[in-house]
Structures are given as C-alpha cells and as structure tokens.
Amino acid sequence: MSPRTSPGTPDRRVLIVGGGSAGISTAARLRRAGVRDITVIDPSDVHWYQPLWTLVGGGQASLRITGRPEASVIPEGVRWIRKAAEAVDPGVRTVTLSDGTEAGYDFLVMAPGIQLDWNGVPGLAEAVGHDRVSSNYAPEYAPRTWELIKDMRSGTAVFTHPATPLKCGGAPQKIAYLAADHWRRKGVLDRIRVVLVIPDPALFKVPVWNRELERVARRYGIEVRLNTEMTAVDGDRRTVTLTGRAAGTEETLGYDMLHAVPPQSAPDWVEKSPLADPASPYGFVEADRHTLRHPHHPEVFAIGDVANLPTSKTGAAVRKQAPVVAGNLLDAMRGAEPSHRYDGYTSCPLVTARDRMLLAEFDYDLKPAPSFPLIDTTRERRDMWLFKRYGLPPVYWRGMLTGRL
C-alpha cells in the first residue's frame, strides 16, 4: 500500500499500543495520510475477528476463519514491536516493554483493548473449559460452546452477563438465543430450562430494541433474571451463585451447561498508569468523549475498548473512532486544535435465531443512528444475519483494517 502524502505532515514518532482492530485501523489511516514514523506494540501472533465468535459458539462458523497472522495486518511501512507493553510514563513520553526496554514517542495512541478477568468470579477460572462450562469470549473455548449446545437434550442451561463494561455487550445474550433456537429445532427446548442472567434493569438500554428482545426471550421461554449477576461458580457441584444487585439476595442454581462471560477491565498496567481515568473503577483511559484526546496529556489519544467512553465497546464503535483519532492526531501534529468529533456511535448486531438478527445502532444519547435508513433493523431480519455472517468479515479485513472504511 502506498500512502497518500499530505502536505504539512511533519515527521513525528507515533507509538500505538495494541495491534487489534483499533490499533491497526488507526495505523493504516495515519500511514495513508503520509505519516512515516509509526510503531505498533503488540505481542500477539494472531489477529482475531472476534465478532464471529458468537457464531462459532452457535455452530454457524469455524474458528479457523476468524483469525489471521498478525504480521498480515500490519500496514506496510509500519514498525512492529512484538512485545507487551507494561507501563507508560507520559511525563517523559515512554512506554516500558516486557523485556525492560523503552519505546519513546511524540504522540501515543492507547489501544491495548480490554482484559478478561477470569478470576473476578470465584471458581470461574477453574471451571471454564471444564465441568460443562464455556465462554465465547476466548478462542480456545468458543468451539466448546457449540459442543455443549449440540450434546444437550435436557436440564438447565445458564447464560450470564457480567456487571462490568464489556466488549460486545449483546454477545452474552445472543448465544442464549442461538442455543434456544437450536434446541427448538431439535424438538428438545421444552425439556431445557434456559436462564439468562442480566445485571441491568432491562435486556437492552435502547427501548425499541429492548421490546423486541423481550419478545424473543418470551418466544423461547427464557427465564430472564434482571438486576442479577453471577457471583460464584462451583464446577465440581455444577452450581452458580446468582446475586440480586438491588436486594443482595442470593440463589444457588444447578446447571447442566453454563455459558459464562467474565468481568472485564482495562489491563492492569493501564489501570495503574497516569493515563487511567480516576472516575473509572475499571481503569479505562481518560479521554474526551468527542475528540478522544486525553484531557491532561494532549499528545495521547485513546481508542476502542480501553477508552473510558459512555458507549458500548464494539468493533463498529472502533470503525467510527479510528478516523476521529487519526484526524485529530494529524491536527495535533500540525499544531491545530482537533477538528474531528465522535458522536458515540456504536452498533450491536443482535442475533436472535440461526438465520435472524436485529441491528441496533445508536449514539451517546441512545438515539437510533441507522446505517440502512430504508431498512427496518428493529425487527428480526434474515438479510441482516447474512450481512453479519458473510458481508461484515470482508468489510473488516479489506476495508476497516486497511484504513479505507
């Protein structure tokens, strides 16, 4: 790829921490704008397209097609440091790496993603991957979810959602709908008790989609436990402890299958850093909600799951944030004020059956922000499911990661 050179773009060192969708998308946009000194820090060998993991767990996609070598997505001309970041010092503008060396920067883009806190629920780390417990939130477990769903003919299936911010907030309930749809097609749903544990007062925070999801849950006979979270797992006994968030009541529920989503937070080193937002109990990076620039360190920008923004953490949000971060970083390089603004757009493709989906798109104000204004995406649609399964992956690999979309 040959970047288009922008007049007046000075040579400055840009360091991007994280080689996921946020980091790579930003690097590609900066490279196409003519920035020559860009370094990405990421230790991963594989770059994952995580939105398909729900369909992997639901038996509709192979894990193999969701990953590609990390080297294949690093933009041409971008330096790649295959180490983990362990600390940042914005005072001297350095990032400390896992081998003790330091990388300096003039501008820093924080995009290390989100941390899965498997130890955040007592017993979960020991049970996941065993004891009929799985999770679509890790590639090593997502295929197991489908095996558990396929093998189940009766009993109790529990699906949980943590009480923390998380990536793809709809994923914990999407797999419940896929599982129930499969069991209904196989004629065994009436022998399976399906329990969906949601920590919030509603299935979805935007009313128009919440109403549809309530209808979907009723269709499958799912017991929805609102204002409730899983607080313990006993893999040996195959029980979970469910705690009411308001009253503090506890219930021990036996399971024959458990799909558990772990609590999530910023990586530990980010939470301990001077860039963490003191208002965030989860250590996410402080950033202006519109410019994505750090309010106390103007040479630092945050993007993706690690940014403390009042919107859902999704790949669709990253797609809208990347041009804002790249554009405002270019402004800063030229000594100008940020001219690009992010309105909080995010999108949750809510799979409700093997071949049906709702597409929830909204902004900071929870107002619908449809990309397809002539299509009613508040109703279950097959064309939207086809778009998620077959349309979005090439858009991601060929468009978003290359800085074209």
For residue 396, what are its two tokens?
A: 């991601």
Query: Quick count: other Cβ atoms within 10 Å of Cβ 105?
Result: 21
**Cα-trace Rg, the chain:** 21
Burial of 374 (0-12, 13-18, 19+ CB in 10 A): exposed
- Which stretches within 20-79 are classed as H helix? 21-32, 53-57
Torsion (CA) 285, 289, 294, 298 in degrees, nearest 10: 160
CA pair distance 290, 213, nearest whole angstrom = 30
Q: Which residues are 102's β-sheet partners? A: 96
- Identity (one letter) of the amino acid at 360? A
Contacts of 337 (CB under 8 A, 6+ apart): 331
CA pair distance 271, 117, nearest whole angstrom = 13
CA pair distance 340, 360, nearest whole angstrom = 24
Write out the DSSP string of 163-187. SS--BSTTHHHHHHHHHHHHHHHTT
Active site residues: 168, 348
Find out whether 104 and 13 touch, Cβ atoms under 8 Å: yes
User: Cα–Cα distances in Å, from 177 out to 4, 185, 395?
Assistant: 46, 12, 26
